[in-house]
Amino acid sequence: MEAADPLSGLERVLDAEEALYVEMHRTLQQERTSLAELDAAGVEAAVRAKESLADEAAFLEERRVAAARALAEDLGVHAEPPTLARLCDELGERGASLREAHSRLSALIGAVQELLHINAAFAGECLGQVSTSLQLLGRLLPDDTLYAPSGAAPPQRGGRLVRSCA
């Protein structure tokens, strides 16, 4: 069996990265839905999935860099690090599929980054609303203690909320 073509190897890694970022985009959309629906279990599942995908993305990035170096060596390109744009230029017409894969991956990464920012802003907004709600509820609590050291409630002590619920 002959050695794999470095160009094909790099294209396979880019295809794997593309599939990973499509999955990351889907996961971020699920996270957004879970945040909107206040589905804590859904958010937790999305966070676990994102962590796993981030680990896989780091692994694929290492593979992409190694594959790009192998192709650069094969082409006699001595730029460090060998960029995909430089490799595409060196390949000329043969680099069309690599250029397309690079463009698709760049677009997907941009879409994922945008969703990450949107989800982070939305989560921050939700946490701000929860914090505000807790502050408002805190104002309804009584200032004094409700129970004396003997365990009995002092007469007519407590806030509006406590008296109305009792």
pTM flag (> 0.85): no
> Does 162 fall in a domain?
no
> Does 134 fall in a domain?
yes
Number of domains in the chain: 1
From CA 61, how far away is CA 110, in angstroms rounded? 16
pLDDT of 164 higher than 60: no
> Does 151 fall in a domain?
no
pLDDT value at position 52? Answer: 96
Task: Indicate the residue type of 7.
Answer: L
From CA 72, how far away is CA 52, in angstroms rounded? 30
From CA 121, how far away is CA 10, in angstroms rounded? 35
Across 139-161, average pLDDT: 60
> Does 166 fall in a domain?
no
pLDDT value at position 137? Answer: 79
pLDDT of 152 higher than 80: no
Residue 153 in tokens:
């409630």
pLDDT value at position 78? Answer: 84
> Does 62 fall in a domain?
yes
From CA 9, how far away is CA 3, in angstroms rounded? 10
